């Protein structure tokens, strides 16, 4: 269970000046950054960023679920949803094709566990299904990140994951699926080699883990 100190450190939104500083650091590393007021603004912006009919994969994310973005992408019929398509495929005989769909969509949408003040973006995953797309395989990447995920440095990012995100995700998985979660894979992106590939929507409000 999170202590009051951890709840304050890892759940309080960063102030406006700090968000601007982080956005500047990210831009220097070829991440496109837009600072938006809230999840509703991100939900509207994503509709502008993703063309209708695009093949889209959404990484598991409370931010996407709570904002309605996950349902917009996977349930609206506006896009070719990788999640919807993969559920109809046989994991025993089509696992290679499933992983290819997950790794190389037109667009992958998700969130991050932490963003450092120096411009690194950090992800944690049990299955790793979203990590190939984030790191380079997907044509376009969009992340929606709440202001509470800003941390000073990489060591604090890892603390945030281990002490804050993992316990919350573990409890969610137990309630949703009856099984615990696990921290099996970590990904740290220090820069983006392809300018224009990644858009990070940085919110002024806290949302997600």
- Residue 170 above 60 pLDDT? yes
What average pLDDT score do residues 21-45 get? Answer: 98
Q: Is residue 208 part of a domain?
A: no
**Phi, psi for residue 158 in degrees, rounded to 5:** -65, -35
Q: Is residue 165 part of a domain?
A: yes
Q: Which domain holds residue 23?
A: 4-203
Domains in the chain, number: 1
pLDDT in tens, 7-29: 568 999 999 999 999 999 999 99
Q: Is residue 151 part of a domain?
A: yes
Q: Is residue 23 part of a domain?
A: yes
Q: Is residue 209 part of a domain?
A: no
Q: Is residue 124 part of a domain?
A: yes
SS (H, E, C) 46-106: HHHHCCCCCEEEECCCHHHHHHCHHHHHHHCCCCEEHHHHHCCCCCCCCHHHHHHHHHCCC
User: How high is the pLDDT of residue 177?
Assistant: 86
* Pairing relationship of beta strands 107-110 and 114-116 according to DSSP bridges: unpaired
Let me know: does 185 contact 125? Beta carbons within 8 Å: yes
Q: Is residue 21 part of a domain?
A: yes
CA terminus-to-terminus distance, the chain: 14
Q: Is residue 141 part of a domain?
A: yes
Q: Which residue from 128, 202, 201, 124 is spatially nearest to 164, judged by alpha carbons?
A: 124
CATH label of the domain that carries residue 25: 3.40.50.10420
User: How high is the pLDDT of residue 83?
Assistant: 95
pTM flag (> 0.75)? yes
Tokens 């993703």 map to which residue?
A: 50
Average pLDDT, the chain: 95
């Amino acid at each position: 269970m999170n202590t009051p100190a951890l709840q304050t450190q890892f759940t309080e939104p960063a102030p406006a000046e700090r968000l601007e500083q982080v956005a500047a650091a990210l831009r220097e590393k070829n991440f496109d950054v837009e600072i938006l007021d809230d999840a509703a603004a991100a939900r509207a912006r994503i509709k502008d960023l993703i063309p209708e009919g695009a093949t889209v994969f959404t990484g598991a994310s409370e931010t996407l679920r709570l904002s309605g973005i996950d349902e917009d992408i996977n349930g609206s019929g506006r896009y070719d949803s990788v999640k919807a398509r993969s559920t109809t495929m046989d994991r025993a005989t089509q696992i290679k094709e499933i992983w290819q769909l997950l790794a190389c969509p037109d667009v992958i949408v998700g969130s991050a566990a932490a963003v450092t003040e120096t411009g690194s973006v950090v992800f944690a995953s049990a299955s790793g299904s979203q990590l190939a797309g984030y790191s380079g395989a997907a044509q376009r990447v969009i992340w929606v990140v709440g202001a509470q995920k800003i941390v000073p440095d990489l060591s604090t990012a890892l603390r945030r994951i281990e002490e804050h995100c993992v316990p919350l995700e573990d409890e969610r998985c137990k309630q949703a699926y009856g099984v615990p979660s696990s921290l099996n894979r970590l990904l740290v992106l220090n820069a983006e080699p392809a300018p224009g590939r990644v858009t990070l929507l940085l919110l002024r409000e806290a949302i997600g883990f």
